[in-house]
Structure 1
């Protein structure tokens, strides 16, 4: 059976992290959870430590500074790869991603996909409690990235995804320096441009019920600037090649 770890970055998620971890382990009892806490002042890290003390399937990686989602995931990925997991899964700590949908994600990886993405913008995808303007912003940003990056993927910013570890190892994570949801765009684009097999499945995305959103103007500006730069560079043949999968096959949609 494949060894799976679910990496969950946290910053001030004390109201939701315990419930998310419990649901993950109830859905996939053989999986492990790694909480990557960026020094949350609200006690999230301490609560994660208590969860780990009560269940050896839970581990905690404490970071001393808050320097972005991409850096937190990078640290979590390196931790997971050093411990020989087969599948490395991303999931938000705020309950917006449904742990009960993990089996479909894992099935895509078991089926040979290098990357599996939980997608909001394909038939079957559902968004709960988002106002119309949030949906418009997300759809517009996704459409812009798809055009500039010439991508066939339907939800480049989705943070509910999983990687085959042997494919993830081919990336030099120190060169992936995007933060916020731009990190998700960069990782998906690297895999897609390599010819990796990518599977998408519809998810139910639920707006957080606890805590505050980490979205900011700076995160949006970073994504817009980087996507524009990557797209223009790719069009003139100067985009860097940083991923070479030895056994990549055709993309799966």
Structure 2
């Protein structure tokens, strides 16, 4: 059984009250993240944010991630009931569907702000207070942790091919949708509750990583303010990338569908 060990976070500046007391839900889809889930959970609860809740959405991970998350939730909820939630899905339906399930759960539990982030530790939880401060100060609808604004950076372990592919994806999407976003495919975001409610999560079409592009497009189409803050993007820890050919094809077609197609009915 994994245990949560407390550590001191040196780069998470505390927010003043009542900002730091905001109801924030962090949605983390997982598939084979047994090597990461305990550290991710520990680092989220090390943040000086008493109103934070973690929602893990596990797609029946063969490595037992879901069971480990249940054990961790038991520890967290023993002293703070309901502060960690684990959703178990019976099949791997795509990261987009996992995010929708987690976001709907967050809204149902009263979250004012919803964070989406990967479960592989490539996104540092220590940026969450900065994202919260930004979204509240700027009255933004969406804050994106960006690799491609000044001050943002990528892991040195990323090779030239991956860097070029990531850059090309952004150029490709923005050539079609013309979004005012530099890191249009990034998956580390904080949403304001009202924006997710207005978008209508049941109408989101994307199953894979194109979910990021679709949500950005819908937010911008609503006229909501979108702010990017710089982050350092770490190399993922443990296991390997899960991007299939079908996901890549969906990612190529989605920008055209968003520009020229119609939205799915709720």
The normalised TM-score by structure 2 is: 0.85
Segments ≥4 residues shifted beyond 3 Å: 238-242
2:60 — aligned with what? 39
1:123 — aligned with what? 150
- 1:113, distance to aligned residue in structure 2 (A): 0.8
2:123 — aligned with what? 97
1:2 has 2:22 as partner? yes
In structure 2, what is the Cα distance between the partners aligned to 1:12 and 1:105?
A: 27
SS at match of 1:152: coil
- 1:229, distance to aligned residue in structure 2 (A): 3.0
- 1:203, distance to aligned residue in structure 2 (A): 0.7
2:80 — aligned with what? none
Q: 1:88, 1:164 within 8 Å by CA — same for their partners in 2?
A: yes
SS at match of 2:121: coil
In structure 2, what is the Cα distance between the partners aligned to 1:108 and 1:218?
A: 36
Deviations 1:161-210 (A, max 9, x none): 01111221112212112022100000011001111011110111011121
In structure 2, what is the Cα distance between the partners aligned to 1:210 and 1:91?
A: 16
SS at match of 1:55: helix
Tell me how many residue pairs correspond in the alignment.
Answer: 237
- 1:241, distance to aligned residue in structure 2 (A): 10
SS at match of 2:198: coil
- 1:27, distance to aligned residue in structure 2 (A): 2.0
Alignment of 1:231-250 (within 5 A): 231=259, 233=260
1:247 — aligned with what? none
- 1:108, distance to aligned residue in structure 2 (A): 1.8
Deviations 1:15-64 (A, max 9, x none): 01111111111124421111111111110000000000000222111111
Alignment of 1:147-162 (within 5 A): 147-162=175-190
Unaligned 5+ runs, structure 2: 1-20, 78-82
Q: 2:214, 2:258 within 8 Å by CA — same for their partners in 1?
A: no
In structure 1, what is the Cα distance between the partners aligned to 2:105 and 2:237?
A: 30
2:111 — aligned with what? 85
RMSD: 1.5
The normalised TM-score by structure 1 is: 0.90
Q: 1:11, 1:39 within 8 Å by CA — same for their partners in 2?
A: yes
1:27 — aligned with what? 47
Q: 2:66, 2:88 within 8 Å by CA — same for their partners in 1?
A: yes
In structure 2, what is the Cα distance between the partners aligned to 1:240 and 1:15?
A: 38
1:12 — aligned with what? 32
SS at match of 1:170: helix
In structure 2, what is the Cα distance between the partners aligned to 1:204 and 1:38?
A: 27
In structure 2, what is the Cα distance between the partners aligned to 1:29 and 1:150?
A: 36
SS at match of 2:164: helix
Q: 2:205, 2:264 within 8 Å by CA — same for their partners in 1?
A: no
